[in-house]
Structure 1
Amino acid sequence: MTATDILQGEVALRNLSKSYSLNGQSLPVLRNLSLNIRGGEALAIVGPSGCGKTTLLRLLAGLEPADGGQVLIDGQEVSGVGTERAVIFQEPRLLPWLSVRDNIGFGLELRGQPRSAARERAERFIRLVGLAGFEDAWPRQLSGGMAQRVGIARALAVQPEILLLDEPFGALDAMTKLTMQEELTRIWQEQAVTMVLVTHDLEEAIFLADRVLVMSRDRSAPRLIDIALPRPRDRSHPDFVDMRRQLMAQFGLH
């Protein structure tokens, strides 16, 4: 593949390894993981607690260093955080002293955009995430789902190539979670970003992802499963139900 063949937002992991120290001993979390994430695709990462899902996401985000291996974005090795990546956590972590508009524009101002331009761009993403009319609301006035919409808008406003999400809807009630999954699908399709999502919810992974990376606690090689279902996806369709059954079988569930 030549440089001109590389899609924007393409990620390559090469022999990525990470260990932590526990009681004076080295505990391996990732061992020589290699993976290609296509530009513009949605990849979900699933697995039991402690299998390394969030560690992998943090390495992709540059929030901590790997012990070995490489992370390449668009063919270039990266280390540390970068403007081409944005992270959304389970808690939206909004600044309580700023309005919705100013929370979304905050990152743009940090990057040197004039306040007027940042606010104008924030307005666009307020509309994108369905919060028109709440521009001047304070974080304390928002529901959990609305606050997470602000977090998504704030991440997208800085125009990342890659959106990294760590259990973004884990704290939401069931109905709000379903709504936000549909909204995230719409936003991902409109913005054409690469999306990497960590989730414990197998149905969420099937609904959102093009492929699912299945990780395990025994550090065996993760398995990649294609989600060859048309969009929009119907959770009640037999093919969706069958895919959920297949994914559950990866964990010995029925």
Structure 2
Amino acid sequence: MAEAQTIGRGEVSIRNLSKSFALNGRDLDVLRGIDLEVVSGQCVAIVGASGSGKTTLLRILAGLEPADGGDVLIDGAPIRGVGSERAVIFQEPRLLPWLTVMGNVAFPLEVRGLAANEAAQRARRYLRLVGLLDFADAYPAQLSGGMAQRVGIARALAVQPELLLLDEPLVALDAMTRMTMQEELARIWAEEHLTMVLVTHDLEEAVYLADRVLILPKHKGSAIRTIEVDLPRPRDRSDSRFVWLRQFLLAEFGLH
């Protein structure tokens, strides 16, 4: 008898995925014939031209959009709406303004049935992880953009997902804060042993964070292109191989 295949934690498998939206009385293909595998523990960045379906793909993985056709599996099981094994970090942290930083991280845990003291204990752990434990009693209006996004990251991690989905999470930040947050995300990913799927327009960010960069096709039905990022961590943005990969991706989009 053949041995059963072992499926890792947070493993993603997408087969022949399609998705369209109605526009002016006709169907507009956003994704067609998409095949994708993400190995447990990897960080994968998804890039592509505007309209290539990056965010739609992420929303399908999150269970926020149904696919029209194909299979979408997490840990070998088909997606049925949102699930506790997945967490999403959006472009805006969407914090509740009437709750403190601690309250924002603990609240989703209490909603899931965790006792208040256990929720607070876990919230403290993840606020410490993102460097904000000293701001536990602050309110969102008192935070900088980078700090608010750190709270959003802590809130997502506190539910202890197997798969972390990130939709342009740093796009609203200034350049220096963004670089710092990229370093923080790389550190957190390594410490938490998560599977991460990141949608980004920032090609340097993709090279800095990802094990693989996936380029969604401009022409619907074409195959996804995969770029392996075989660079040591922590990554050095001035390293010649890093610079070459960034320039290669820029050339792919006609930007260099």
Offset, 1:249: 2.1
Partner of 1:73 in structure 2? Answer: 74
Listed one character per residue, the Cα deviations across residues 59-90 of structure 1 (whole Å, up to 9, x for unaligned) are 00000100001111111112211000000001
The 3-state SS of whatever aligns with 1:5 is coil
Listed one character per residue, the Cα deviations across residues 199-248 of structure 1 (whole Å, up to 9, x for unaligned) are 00000000000000101332222201100111111111111111111112
Equivalent pair of 1:10/1:39 in contact (CA under 8 Å): yes
The 3-state SS of whatever aligns with 2:28 is strand
Partner of 2:250 in structure 1? Answer: 248
Offset, 1:47: 1.0
Structure 2, unpaired ranges of 5+: none
Partner of 1:133 in structure 2? Answer: 134
Partner of 1:228 in structure 2? Answer: 230
Equivalent pair of 2:217/2:225 in contact (CA under 8 Å): no
Residue-pair matches, total: 254
CA distance in 2, matches of 1:164, 1:234: 24
Where does 1:149-188 land on structure 2 (aligned, <5 Å)? 149-188=150-189
Equivalent pair of 2:42/2:194 in contact (CA under 8 Å): yes
CA distance in 1, matches of 2:254, 2:170: 25
Equivalent pair of 2:9/2:75 in contact (CA under 8 Å): yes
Partner of 2:14 in structure 1? Answer: 13
Where does 1:183-194 land on structure 2 (aligned, <5 Å)? 183-194=184-195
Partner of 1:202 in structure 2? Answer: 203
The 3-state SS of whatever aligns with 1:65 is coil
Offset, 1:4: 5.0
**Which residue identity does 1:165 align to in structure 2?**
L
Structure 1 stretch displaced more, 211-220 or 223-232: 211-220
CA distance in 1, matches of 2:34, 2:152: 30
CA distance in 1, matches of 2:3, 2:54: 31
CA distance in 2, matches of 1:164, 1:121: 20
Query: What TM-score results when the alignment is normalised by the length of structure 2?
Result: 0.97
Offset, 1:3: 4.7
Say whether residues 1:212 and 2:216 are aligned partners.
no
Equivalent pair of 1:3/1:75 in contact (CA under 8 Å): no
Partner of 1:97 in structure 2? Answer: 98
CA distance in 1, matches of 2:8, 2:43: 14
